[in-house]
Structure 1
Amino acid sequence: MKIKLSPRLEVIASCVAGVKSMADIGTDHGYLPVYLVGNNLVSRAIASDTNQQPLKKAEIIISEQQLEKQIETRLGSGLSVLKPGEVDAVVMAGMGGLLIRDLLEAQPDVARQKKKLVLQPMNNQAVLRKYLAASGFRIIREELAREGDRVYEIIVAEPGTMTFTNPLEYELGFEFYLYKHPLLIALIERKIFLEQQIVRSTRAKTTVVAAKQFQESSLFIEKLNEVKRCLSN
């Protein structure tokens, strides 16, 4: 049985392809490394997870695909399961942006020895991009993937330096205005929708925190609508 990936994992796989070895941190069922190795897109992979149960499911799938010699499973947290320079690329996908930041910060020597970091934060994307810029990484590629109403942001980074010239780059992707991804407007519309929910929930509240959030979200919606208009012209 061939592994079929979701649109999100397909885009992540395309970002990894081209290196000899990779590690999937928080692998869950192990679909990504099995797909990459099974299709000869990488020659060796490490699948790790903090929980034994999903790792056992990954081991079953790896065994079914007869890839035990090429894919190793490891139990542990973040980059602690790796040695510096052990693999060429690391994937951290399906986690919060704050958690990805903390895992990179916990093992900086391991993180900086990688040719590629392929990161797919579920939230706090701006925080993660700010961390990368401040911590000796540069974003070399930004991708988007759509599943239903959700648009996922995939960030590919490597050791280096970069400069953000537009504050909206933290929210919409590094140099988004140059690359104009086909799903960029869909991403903007999704962000507007989420901010509108915040506006509605804080409009009638009188606390200082709520008033500040209402103002910030309203201003952000205005900026996003302005970018959307520019992209549509």
Structure 2
Amino acid sequence: MIETVKLSKRLKKVATYVPEGALFADIGTDHAYLPCYICLHDEKARAIAGEVNEGPFNSAVETVHLYGLSDSIEVRLGNGLEVVENEEVNQLVIAGMGGALIRSILEDGISKLNAVNRIVVQPNIDARTIRKWFLIHGFTVTNEAILEENGHIYEIIVADRGENRSPYDASLVDQQLLFGPLLMKNRTATFYQKWKHEHEKLQTVINQMDKAKVKDIQKINQFEKELKWMKEVLSDD
């Protein structure tokens, strides 16, 4: 018997948000470890594993074959949501990319999302841009997680369609988009670790911008506002 797929800590956490019996797409699947892990643990789950690069696509095909999951997982070569048809999947996973790229994948493939009721994302940077996209397009953030692995801190965001209870406070939306509305309510040691580091980085950026011969006053003001938010968040540590 083939043992289960060995997943990273972050992808194991992502997998917990894919519901039982899911019909989902994993975009940017790489070696298809995530869909294989899910389908090995859930016989009813079905997946489309999408990959834009031929090398990882071939590796994904091999992984699916190795675990005997060809009836449960279809590996497709293509860019973003080009690999799925409209109303073909109910859940969507996009993990391990920058926030701007994830947002562009969602935006470019918005016509494919009509039947998607849950999106799980794990951006490596700039989670805020995805939260903004969810807010604009009727997906409600219902779960967030933050974790550290191999010296990196990752955020995971789960958004559901048709969930009426907004996690946002009208007076704090800008701050909550940055920090995560649910992460702000349940601040862990990892949350404080991340934002202490981000505070230090942003302070350095502002110091450098202040020394420039031509100053971008508007951007400096925005960064100083965000720095103030970070100080306020860290003061609760």
Q: Give the TM-score normalised by the residue count of structure 2.
A: 0.87
How far off its partner does 1:154 sit?
1.0
CA distance in 2, matches of 1:174, 1:109: 27
CA distance in 1, matches of 2:110, 2:81: 9
In structure 2, the partner of 1:219 is 225
The amino acid across from 2:231 in the alignment is: N
Deviates more, 1:66-75 or 1:167-176: 167-176
In structure 2, the partner of 1:134 is 136
In structure 2, the partner of 1:65 is 67
Q: Does 1:164 align with 2:168?
A: yes
Closer, same or farther in 2 for the Cα pair 1:41/1:152, shift >3 Å? farther
In structure 1, the partner of 2:35 is 33
Q: Does 1:194 align with 2:194?
A: no
In structure 2, the partner of 1:174 is 181
Contact 1:16 1:89 in 2 (8 A): yes
How far off its partner does 1:203 sit?
3.7
Contact 2:143 2:182 in 1 (8 A): no
Contact 1:138 1:159 in 2 (8 A): yes
Task: State which of 123, 136, 150 in structure 1 corresponds to 2:125.
Answer: 123
Q: Does 1:21 align with 2:23?
A: yes
How far off its partner does 1:178 sit?
2.6
CA distance in 2, matches of 1:99, 1:117: 15
In structure 2, the partner of 1:146 is 148
How far off its partner does 1:222 sit?
2.7
How far off its partner does 1:57 sit?
0.5
CA distance in 2, matches of 1:112, 1:182: 38
Q: Count the aligned residue pairs.
A: 230
How far off its partner does 1:171 sit?
0.8
How far off its partner does 1:108 sit?
2.0
CA distance in 2, matches of 1:42, 1:200: 55
In structure 1, the partner of 2:157 is 155
- Please give the residue correspondences for 1:39-118 in structure 2 after superposition, counting only pairs within 5 Å: 39-40=41-42, 43-118=45-120
Closer, same or farther in 2 for the Cα pair 1:42/1:129, shift >3 Å? farther
Contact 1:17 1:36 in 2 (8 A): no
In structure 1, the partner of 2:235 is 229
Instruction: State the secondary structure of the residue aligned to 2:177.
Output: helix
Deviates more, 1:152-161 or 1:197-206: 197-206
Instruction: State the secondary structure of the residue aligned to 1:3.
Output: coil
The amino acid across from 1:62 in the alignment is: V
Deviates more, 1:218-227 or 1:134-143: 218-227
Closer, same or farther in 2 for the Cα pair 1:31/1:219, shift >3 Å? same
Instruction: State the secondary structure of the residue aligned to 1:139.
Output: strand
CA distance in 2, matches of 1:154, 1:78: 19
Closer, same or farther in 2 for the Cα pair 1:2/1:53, shift >3 Å? same
The CA RMSD measured in Å over matched residues stands at 2.1
**Is there any run of 5+ residues in structure 2 with no aligned partner, and where?**
none
In structure 2, the partner of 1:204 is 211
How far off its partner does 1:122 sit?
2.1
Contact 2:21 2:46 in 1 (8 A): no
How far off its partner does 1:207 sit?
1.7
| Runs of 4 or more above 6 Å deviation | none
CA distance in 1, matches of 2:86, 2:233: 41
How far off its partner does 1:18 sit?
2.6
Q: Give the TM-score normalised by the residue count of structure 1.
A: 0.88
Closer, same or farther in 2 for the Cα pair 1:215/1:206, shift >3 Å? farther
CA distance in 1, matches of 2:189, 2:62: 37
